[in-house]
Each structure stands twice: as structure tokens, then as C-alpha cells.
Structure 1
Amino acid sequence: MRLMMFEASGGPRLGVVDGDKVIDVAAADPALPKTMLALIEAGPEALSRVAAAVKGAGDGAVQALKDVKPALPIEKPGKFICVGLNYAAHAREGGHEPPKYPSLFVRWPSSLVAAEAPVILPKVCDQLDYEAELTFVIGKGGRAIPEDKGLDHVFGYTLFNDVSVRAWQRYTPQWTQGKNFDGTGPLGPVVVTPDELPAGASGLRITSRVNGETRQDSNTGDLIFGVARLVEILSEFMTLEPGDVVATGTPSGVAHAMKPPGWMKAGDRVEVEVEGIGILGNPIVAES
């Protein structure tokens, strides 16, 4: 199933994407969860009820996908965990050896933006970089989850562009400030359930484009730490909870490694694509 949140007059609503249409879940059955997070928290049975409801939805519940405005799939994740240097070639282009343990940092909700919303080029720095990332959403929470059970805890997969303000990222050995400027974290637009993808979303082409020019082109099968292993590692020291979001890292081809660097600028359009999931696109707009 392909799920999304979209803007509506009474606030964001949960929808199921079917080809070029979106079925409004609340319009199909008002008793169903009304947000992605509520659906996740309601468990697998609720997902089955959504599937049944949208099959019988009337015309009043259906909208054209092109006419809806995407909202963040999860507006304020309890935890948004990012994995750095998780593709060997990307680690090396930044001057690092592939890690034996993943580099981890966090994103704050104030940095996140929905698909098609502006990504903000800050006044204080013009070193704005893109990072295409396969991202997963936790469905069933837990602690000390073994790798062979890790995928049982994944609700679905989405897209993230870990837009980075590189100069700020380099100010200290940890990257928090360069990764959390307001309006620099595009997420979405859809969350795809695991049954529609290969196990662990492995073996999928992942690309980024700036103004139609391909900058990154790799495969999620090249992840050093795959989805199940990341669930194991993260749950060793924290309780994973429904709705937590994990971005798995970016492949080689980022702007700072180009000669000269190919920073994004105001007026550009950036897109992230993962095979089987879709496209996350955003314009770049200068901070006012």
C-alpha cells in the first residue's frame, strides 16, 4: 500500500495513493485513523481495515493525485535518526574510511518540510548540498531487537533529502548544526508498506537530480548497514517507538565532492528518487 498525508481545509488528512488518484481515508470510513501516526499506532489490523475501506470508497473520497498538496507523512516524529557514511564510496569521497559502526545524528522536526515545499537557502551560507536517502518508519516498537527480527518492526519506507549546510556541518566533529537549519529536510511524500518492496528495500536504484541533472546514482543494496541491522544497532541503546523515522544515509555524488563544488542555489529544483517508492521534489528558495 502507498500512503500519504495531504493538506485539506480541516488540516492534513491520510490518503491511499492508487495510480494517479488519492483516496481520502476519513471520507471512505470516518472511524479509521486520520493520520499516518495514528494508523501506525493502531497496529496491523487498522491497516487491513484501511485497505478494505478504500476498495469500496465512493467517488466523493477520490481526488486526483496532481491536485493534492503533500503534507509531511509524520509531522513531528518522536525520534528522527540519521545514519552517516553508510555507503562506502560516499565515506571515501568525504575523506573517511567505511565505518565499522554507523555514524549517527538527529534531525529536529523544525528542519523538516513536505514534498514540493521550498527548501531554504540560508543567508549565512551558500554551501547547500543534497543527500538522497532511503528512509524507514518504525511500526512496532521495541528494545534489543535482533537483526533477524528487525524488519518485523518496519511500518514502511519513504524518501528523505538530508539537505546539508556544509560549512556549518564542519564547525565541530559532530554534524548537528549543519543538518538542522530550518526548512532543509524534505521528507515524503509517500510511505510504502514493506509488502510492495524487496526485503529491507534492498536492491533498489537510488538517485538525486538537480535541475534534471543526475548527481547521485547508486543502489540500496550497497548500504554498509542495512535496515534490519540498523534496527538491531539502534535498539541496543534506545527504545524504538511507533512513528520513529530512520534515514539510512546517502551514496556518493554529493555537491561538496564535485570540482568545483556543485552547491544548490536559489531557483534550482532538487529531486530524490528510489525505485519502487517514488520521487521527492522541492524547489530551492533563498531565505527572506
Structure 2
Amino acid sequence: MKLIRFGEKNDERPGVIDSNGKIRDLSSYFQDYDKAFFLSDGLEKIKRLNYKSAPVIDEPVRIAPPIANVGKFICVGLNYADHAAESGMDVPDEPVLFMKATSSIVGPNDAVVLPPDSEKSDWEVELGVIIGKEAKYVSEEDAMDYVAGFCLINDLSERTYQLEKGGQWCKGKGCDTFAPMGPFMATADEVKEPNNLHIWLEVNGEIKQNGNTNTMVFTVPFLVHYISQFMSLQPGDVISTGTPPGVGLGMTPPQYLKEGDEMRLGIEGLGEQVQKVERYKK
């Protein structure tokens, strides 16, 4: 299944994409796709639901992030060896983890708004993992039992904030609008090989990133297992699994986003995003 949320900000509704690619409105069955949805066995309820009779959304609508009220947004740094190299950093012996502010989450086609003084904002296409039930000290072998599904994420980064202002990476990762998610969550049964998906991003029509999740240093099952040793993963939590090479930081000379740019990105089986770049006006 492909679960989708749609509607204007603060008025989003849950839906599903049917076999004809149409959005079906499920708001009469479910309040939203959030922690409570997963805890109440919502995925199984949708599977049993004859949603072919649910209303079709024919008019153009804003596509929202596929999950509401994300509890934790956990990111994995340097998880592609070639991206670590272009960043001038060593491939880590263990996953590098950091948090991204949940207030950075926006819809897949919402505008990306650069901070007023941003000079080094960068793109990062990533595979997102959505947790479906509490995972605490789980084994790598059992890890996929805790995954509800997958989605596309653009993990934007302000490199000055991230790398030149001391402390942890969260300063450069948590800016408002720096985490477009969606357009939908594909349930785990639809993504047979999460570690073998084409992943790409272009800026102004020029391909910048063009890779495959099979070059990840640490696989999805290992990451779920690993992170669960340090914190419990709750339903609706999101793990962003790292980016392939081709970010602006790694180019010679470096290239960064500017007002008026357009990003387009996608992952095999998980749809596409398009974002216009704006600058915050004080």
C-alpha cells in the first residue's frame, strides 16, 4: 500500500493511493497517520478495508508529509563510503547518529526556505524508514518486523551551521523546511529490497546525485537494530539513512542552493519530490 496525507497545513487528511494512482480519502475511517494509528494496528485495518468505495480526490491538492506528529527524526551520517570521501571524512566504524528537528518536516513539494544568512545550504536525497511498533534492543535478524514502511526524504543541510559553528550537526540540519518528506509511505511489503534502490537528485534539471542504496555502509536492518540499542524506537519515528555522493559540499568548487533554484529528487518505488528554493525575509 501507499499511504498519503493531503490538504493544507494544519488541515491534512489521511488517504491511500489506489491501483489507478488515484488518492482515496480515508478520513472517515482514520483520524491521521501517527503514533496512535500504528499502535491501534492501523496498517492491518487498512488492509482489511474495502477502500475502493472511499471518495476519490480529483482536484489538485497539496501533498503533506506521509506521517503526522513524528516523535523522533534520527539521521545517519556518512552512510555511503563515497559520500564520506567527498566530504573529506573517514568511513565510520559504527553509524554516526544525529537528530533532526521535527519542526523541519514539510511536504514533498513545499518550498524550501533558506535562513536569512544562509550561504551554504545543500541537498541530500535519502531513504527514510518509518517505524511501526516499539523497537527496543532488537536483533538485526528481527529488525524488519518493526518497520512500517519507507519514504523519500530530502535531508537539507546548512554547511556553515553544521561544520563551522562548533558543537553538533543539529544546528545545520534542523532549519525550518529542511526535511521534505513523501509523497507517500510505501508499506514494507511493497519494498522488497530497500538496500537495492535507485536514488537520485537534480538541481535546475542537472543531475547531482545518482546512486543506489546498495552502496550503504550500514543496511536498513542493521540500522534499526543498532539504533534500538541506544534508544527505543517508537511507532511513527523516522530514520533517514544517509545520502549518496553528489552533494554541493563535495563539488569543486562547492555549489550551494540559492533563491530560485528547483530541486527534483526520487527513489525507485517511492515517488518524486519537487521543491522551489526561497529565502526567508525578516
Moved more, 257-266 or 152-161: 257-266
- TM-score between the two structures when normalised by the length of structure 2: 0.94
- The answer to whether the Cα contact below 8 Å between 1:88 and 1:224 also exists between their aligned partners in 2 is yes
Aligned equivalents of 1:277 and 1:81: distance in 2? 19
Aligned equivalents of 1:94 and 1:10: distance in 2? 37
Query: Which amino acid in 2 is paired with 1:164?
Result: S
Cα deviation, 1:188-212, whole Å, max 9, x if unaligned, reads 120001111124x121100011112
Match of 1:180 among 145, 163, 174: 174
- The answer to whether the Cα contact below 8 Å between 2:101 and 2:170 also exists between their aligned partners in 1 is no
- The verdict on how the C-alpha distance between 1:189 and 1:144 changes in structure 2, with shifts beyond 3 A counting, is same
Q: Which ranges in structure 1 are unaligned for 5 or more consecutive residues?
A: none
Query: Which amino acid in 2 is paired with 1:34?
Result: Q
Match of 2:80 among 87, 96, 107: 87
Cα deviation, 1:188-242, whole Å, max 9, x if unaligned, reads 120001111124x121100011112110011011111111101111110111110
Deviation at 1:54, TM superposition (A): 4.4
Deviation at 1:20, TM superposition (A): 3.2
Aligned equivalents of 1:75 and 1:245: distance in 2? 11
Q: Tell me the SS of whatever aligns to 2:177.
A: coil
Aligned equivalents of 1:266 and 1:204: distance in 2? 30
- The answer to whether the Cα contact below 8 Å between 2:101 and 2:173 also exists between their aligned partners in 1 is no
Equivalent position of 1:202 in the other structure: 195
Deviation at 1:248, TM superposition (A): 0.1
Query: Which amino acid in 2 is paired with 1:25?
Result: L
Deviation at 1:124, TM superposition (A): 1.1
- The verdict on how the C-alpha distance between 1:10 and 1:274 changes in structure 2, with shifts beyond 3 A counting, is closer
Task: Map 1:1-288 to 2 at 5 A.
Answer: 1-7=1-7, 11-18=11-18, 19-26=20-27, 30=28, 32-37=29-34, 38-43=36-41, 46-58=42-54, 61-64=55-58, 67-170=60-163, 171-172=165-166, 174-199=168-193, 201-288=194-281
Deviation at 1:39, TM superposition (A): 2.7
Aligned equivalents of 1:276 and 1:149: distance in 2? 24
Q: Which ranges in structure 2 are unaligned for 5 or more consecutive residues?
A: none
Query: Which amino acid in 1 is paired with 2:279?
Result: A
Q: Tell me the SS of whatever aligns to 2:160.
A: helix
Deviation at 1:267, TM superposition (A): 0.9
Percent of pairs with identical residues: 38
Aligned equivalents of 2:30 and 2:124: distance in 1? 32
Deviation at 1:9, TM superposition (A): 9.6
Aligned equivalents of 1:51 and 1:146: distance in 2? 27
- The answer to whether the Cα contact below 8 Å between 2:70 and 2:237 also exists between their aligned partners in 1 is yes
Aligned equivalents of 1:217 and 1:283: distance in 2? 20
Moved more, 3-12 or 108-117: 3-12
- The answer to whether the Cα contact below 8 Å between 1:25 and 1:50 also exists between their aligned partners in 2 is no
- The answer to whether the Cα contact below 8 Å between 1:264 and 1:284 also exists between their aligned partners in 2 is yes
- The answer to whether the Cα contact below 8 Å between 2:108 and 2:274 also exists between their aligned partners in 1 is yes
**Higher-helix-fraction structure:** 1
Deviation at 1:34, TM superposition (A): 2.2
Aligned equivalents of 1:9 and 1:208: distance in 2? 25
- The answer to whether the Cα contact below 8 Å between 1:119 and 1:282 also exists between their aligned partners in 2 is yes
Aligned equivalents of 1:10 and 1:229: distance in 2? 35
Q: Superposition RMSD on alpha carbons, in Å? A: 1.7
Deviation at 1:49, TM superposition (A): 2.9
Query: Which amino acid in 2 is paired with 1:198?
Result: K
